Structure 1
Amino acid sequence: MGRHEWIPGARRWSLTALLGVGAAVLALVVTLISTLPGDGPSTRGTTRDGGTVHGTPANPTAATKPDVGWGFTHTQYSADEGSGAATARVEGLLAGTGLPQNQHIMGWGAGNPEPVKGRYDFQEMDRRIDFVRKSGGTPVVTLCCAPDWMKGGKAGAGTTDWSQAALETAPTPDHYKDFAALAATVAKRYPDVRHFIVWNEFKGFWNDSGARWDYEGYTELYNLVYKALKQVDDKIMVGGPYLVMDSVDPRQKQDASTTLRGTWGAMDQRVLDAFAYWNRHKAGADFVVVDGSSYTKDDDLLPNEFAATDKLTAVGAWVREQTHDLPLWWAEYYVEPADGNDDRNGWREDHRVAVQATGMIALVKGGASSGFYWNPEEEKGTGCPGCLWTPTGSANGGRELPMYDLVSRFGKEFPPGTTYRTVPVARDDVPNVRVLADDKVVLVVNTLGRAISAQADGKRFDMKAYEVKWLRR
């Protein structure tokens, strides 16, 4: 998901194209020389063992836990670039929240980390990790995607094909160990990153002849990466398989699960088979990662956009049962179908936030303790449907949007380890509201596009259309 946001440093790559072939090669050589392992700018800090680390000083925690809580994923455009005033505004917004922030190693704002075997370019990745540090976030890294030479490109060419088809290509089996070595290099470069997700949505792991997922190939790659990371530091937390938990229309027979289904649809049995294989043959896991949407593969919200989120609860409960209650992360979760450009323009923002809040409640009820909102930030402009803040391309950007209030408040009020409580809701309100509560707060969502008077936890209160309300207990 988020499939159309690939190219890192778009302005830099456009300039390279203009320089011409000879200048581009020269620029690449300069970049590679300046980014050999261990090199970096003068703003390096030190780790506890005396080694060096790029950028803002890194402080790895002594005791790592398998959960990080509720945060967001950086996409192609994010608050690490743009107007200084705007990026500082977002840093201030995030300061003190500790929100986990996820970044991929290639694509979604990061350049090719190893354009030539053994030579590294972490320029964009460094900038993103430094932003996470400066804004006080908990860094998480998704180990995807792979340099061209690992997946059929010409060795030593140092070129990168940023097309969607190319980026979604997995390493060839003879390069699985090379990818694991790259993962270890990333872990050494960023010692304060304690949580790694292996690959993204099984990209490139489809078996055409068998019309199924190549779960054997993914699991082989996963196991090599898992072992490589544990050799760097056995306290590093590793998770997978980051499968898309696709569902189909409940009337569909082909590829439909006969056991994991509901009014929201039926799970694609091929996904469940892939998950089961990884679960049986994995070398280990500190947490389990999935992603998916409340809607079907045909973008149907069944029976409606709010009730469709029950799928997230059912899938989460199934995953937890299969993995004997390993901590469950949702690397991505979607409740609103997007268009071909991955834009969400179908709903008003209050409607969008209400369905999103209902989805997050559903994730928790399914046993999830960590999750990442896919932040679809625009490069420029003032509007940004579904974004956490306005684009940072102008000095007036970086301003909080309603979705940020929901995601950050949810992360603050319901951190990992929260004990959830059942609260009484008036019988007439049960079909109209969704509720989540612990000992301190009650989150109530009005699922109707009109105002209501609701009663929950012994309190009577008015709610506007699609209002998300927090009550202190």
Structure 2
Amino acid sequence: MSAESRRVVVPVLVLVLTALLGCTGAAPRAAGAAEAAFNGTGCSSAAVRGGFQVGVTHAEHSIGTGTDPTAPPPAPAALARARRTLSSVGPLQNMHLFGFGEWANPRHGAHGPFDWSSLDARMRLICATGGTPVITLCCSPSWATDHYDPQAPDDTTHLYDAPLPSHYQDYADLAVAVARRYPFVRYFQVWNQFKGFYGVPRPDGSVDYSQWDAAAYTSFYNTVYRALDGYRKSARVDLRIGGPYVPFPTWSDPGAAGHPAAVAALRGQPWGTVDQRALDALDYWLAHDAGADFLAVDAGTDTEPACPDTAPDCTDAQKYRRFPDQAQGAAKFKALDQYLHGLLNHRQLPIWWSEYYAPVDGTNASTAAMYRGVLDAMAASGASAALMWSPEYEPNLPTDCHDASGHQECSNGFPALWTEPDLWGGGGPPPGPDYLSIVRTFTGSHRG
């Protein structure tokens, strides 16, 4: 097709496809506009029971939903291909309250009108593919921080800031409003990766990064938990709440940048040394949480750089991430699962790997053997669920990458299950290893 004829055809195609798939690519309604509650047709609220399953977390782009609601909708055939793939895995499908594809602030102001358009669009995708929805209660609308601008209610500049304590209850009220709107959603995770809680504020305004602010996170978690638990007791006995979604940074340097794990099984191993600050944060939460129905955690097989590559005294061995081999990667997840089971002791909380990664190089790509090895280790060591981050293929562009001491470091390239559907095709298998077959091995019992 010539460039001239393509310019003529594209507007017509967009109009036709918009008529066919209007809800997929529709712009969000204005906040406060009348919006009929979505009834969850197609969604499952079945409990996760026994065994181990791998679900997905929808991120910036996922089968026509995501960051740009005004983009032309995908071609119907591409959309159908991607949806068939999504229907064959899980069934757990996770989405965020705000951020990671949900870019319409669900509430304009702490007590303002609601805008459900972004959440509804993604929920329709989950239900259309027979998913069991999970909602991660993250991240921060600007009104929950000290940067609110009523003229820019969808501003994401401070998305990863921790909510202010004065807005903990407002955030908890929003969580209950979400649970009411989607009465078929059983699972809620409170926050994501301890964002905004990685240091303790000092009186002079500086931050002490030698410890994470587990007390502040736990106070926030407990406020949200008590609000949802109150709603559960009055109307939703099946609702389940989990936290703290804590990540486990791991260092190739046995000194772990000054914070090596105190537990021998997590220190000085061939796969690295876990950061004690993460373990301390988890210990604090377990000792002070108001309740929980599952334990949410996060890790990857790679190790952190020991120092910034711009530091004058940083050696080559410290400047970039390390990538343990297949056996070491599996051993790391097995060791972490065993450690977590020991911590939980009598509580018997199911372990959810809310994120997991198995990169073999700086592009964040993996291999079939490496990826399967990590999942096998989780399953064998008693984990209940794992959520694959961003299952839609987004190739690395040159602008996504930078050189780190001769090693390519990229922001994308993660394993995926389907290619991005668009006007011209897509929705099929991505290049590289067949991760879909691996993930389907760990599909929940009621999937085909």
TM-score normalised by structure 1 residue count: 0.70
- Percent identity over the alignment? 33
For residues 346-388 of structure 1, the C-alpha deviation after alignment (integer angstroms, 9 at most, x for no partner) is x6xxxx2221101111222332110101125346999976211
Task: Give the secondary-structure state (helix, strand or coil) at the position aligned to 1:180.
Answer: helix
For residues 293-338 of structure 1, the C-alpha deviation after alignment (integer angstroms, 9 at most, x for no partner) is 1121122124x34423311111111112111231000000011067
Match of 1:404 in 2: 436
Match of 2:275 in 1: 268
Match of 1:368 in 2: 383
Match of 1:147 in 2: 141
Amino acid of the structure 1 residue aligned with 2:322:
D
Amino acid of the structure 2 residue aligned with 1:374:
W
For residues 60-114 of structure 1, the C-alpha deviation after alignment (integer angstroms, 9 at most, x for no partner) is 74x7457783111111011144332212222223336552111011111102111
Match of 2:132 in 1: 138
What CA distance in whole angstroms lies between the structure 2 residues aligned with 1:90 and 1:113?
27
Amino acid of the structure 1 residue aligned with 2:245:
Y
For residues 226-249 of structure 1, the C-alpha deviation after alignment (integer angstroms, 9 at most, x for no partner) is 111122223210100001111122
Amino acid of the structure 2 residue aligned with 1:287:
F
Match of 2:53 in 1: 69
**Counterpart selection for 1:255 from 245, 259, 262:** 259
Task: Give the secondary-structure state (helix, strand or coil) at the position aligned to 1:291.
Answer: strand
Aligned ranges for residues 307-346 of structure 1 at < 5 Å?
307-324=328-345, 325-336=348-359, 339=362, 344-345=364-365
Amino acid of the structure 1 residue aligned with 2:173:
A
The 10-residue stretch of structure 1 (185-194 or 87-96) with the greater mean CA deviation from structure 2: 87-96
Aligned ranges for residues 185-224 of structure 1 at < 5 Å?
185-206=177-198, 207=200, 208-209=207-208, 211-224=210-223
What CA distance in whole angstroms lies between the structure 1 residues aligned with 2:395 and 2:89?
25
Q: 1:130, CA displacement in angstroms?
A: 0.7
Which segments of 5 or more consecutive residues in structure 1 lack a partner in the other structure? 1-26, 42-52, 416-473
Q: 1:330 to 1:59 in 2, by over 3 A?
A: closer
**Counterpart selection for 1:300 from 297, 309, 322:** 322
Amino acid of the structure 1 residue aligned with 2:378:
L
What CA distance in whole angstroms lies between the structure 2 residues aligned with 1:247 and 1:385?
19
Amino acid of the structure 1 residue aligned with 2:32:
I
Task: Give the secondary-structure state (helix, strand or coil) at the position aligned to 1:212.
Answer: coil
The 10-residue stretch of structure 1 (198-207 or 390-399) with the greater mean CA deviation from structure 2: 390-399
Q: 1:59, CA displacement in angstroms?
A: 6.2
Tell which has more relative contact order, 1 or 2 (C-alpha 8 A, sep 6+): 2
8 Å Cα contact 1:381/1:393 also seen in 2: no
Q: 1:97 to 1:235 in 2, by over 3 A?
A: same
Match of 1:388 in 2: 417
What CA distance in whole angstroms lies between the structure 1 residues aligned with 2:327 and 2:422?
34
What CA distance in whole angstroms lies between the structure 2 residues aligned with 1:399 and 1:392?
8
Q: 1:59 to 1:249 in 2, by over 3 A?
A: closer
8 Å Cα contact 2:142/2:156 also seen in 1: no
**Counterpart selection for 2:240 from 231, 237, 242:** 237
8 Å Cα contact 1:60/1:192 also seen in 2: yes
User: Does residue 94 in structure 1 map to residue 67 in structure 2?
Assistant: no
What CA distance in whole angstroms lies between the structure 2 residues aligned with 1:385 and 1:58?
29
What CA distance in whole angstroms lies between the structure 1 residues aligned with 2:49 and 2:290?
16
Q: 1:31, CA displacement in angstroms?
A: 0.5
8 Å Cα contact 2:44/2:133 also seen in 1: no
Q: 1:159, CA displacement in angstroms?
A: 2.7
Q: 1:210, CA displacement in angstroms?
A: 5.2
Which segments of 5 or more consecutive residues in structure 2 lack a partner in the other structure? 1-26, 66-73, 201-206, 306-320, 398-411
8 Å Cα contact 1:104/1:145 also seen in 2: yes
Count of residues paired in the alignment: 361
Aligned ranges for residues 103-182 of structure 1 at < 5 Å?
103-111=95-103, 112-117=105-110, 118-154=112-148, 156-163=150-157, 166-182=158-174
**Counterpart selection for 2:371 from 356, 366, 376:** 356
8 Å Cα contact 1:176/1:221 also seen in 2: yes
TM-score normalised by structure 2 residue count: 0.74
What CA distance in whole angstroms lies between the structure 2 residues aligned with 1:290 and 1:384?
22
Quote the RMSD (CA, aligned, Å). Answer: 2.8
8 Å Cα contact 2:57/2:388 also seen in 1: yes
Q: 1:192 to 1:413 in 2, by over 3 A?
A: closer
Q: 1:225 to 1:323 in 2, by over 3 A?
A: same
8 Å Cα contact 1:58/1:190 also seen in 2: no
For residues 258-294 of structure 1, the C-alpha deviation after alignment (integer angstroms, 9 at most, x for no partner) is 3122221121111110000000001111110100111
Amino acid of the structure 2 residue aligned with 1:181:
D
More strand per residue: 1 or 2?
Answer: 1
